[in-house]
Amino acid sequence: MVTTRFLNNCPRCGYVAEAWSEDGVFVNVRCKMCGYEGRLPHPDLKNGAWRVG
Ligand SMILES: [Zn+2]
């Protein structure tokens, strides 16, 4: 599996946070601004397998 690194807005403070995906389904987010760490659905999947809203 390829680890993909990109940037994602922090869900807590909205700052641009470091994000990476290990499995292509979830992304790990780590925000340097507020210290948030967590997992979110991969944004690239919102229009595909993931239906949000
Ligand atoms: Zn944050």
**pLDDT tens, position by position, 30-50:** 999 999 999 988 877 655 554
Token digits of residue 11: 């869900």
pLDDT of the residue at 1: 62
Residue 20 has pLDDT above 90, yes or no: yes
% of the chain at pLDDT higher than 90: 51
Residue 5 has pLDDT above 70, yes or no: yes
* 9 Cα: distance to centroid of ligand 1 (angstroms): 8
Pairing of strands 16-21, 4-9: antiparallel
Residues at Cβ < 5 Å from ligand 1 ion: 10, 12-13, 15, 31, 33-34, 36
Residue 21 backbone phi and psi in degrees, to 5: -120, 135
pLDDT of the residue at 12: 95
Residue 8 has pLDDT above 60, yes or no: yes
CB 19 within 8 A of CB 10: no
* 41 Cα: distance to centroid of ligand 1 (angstroms): 17
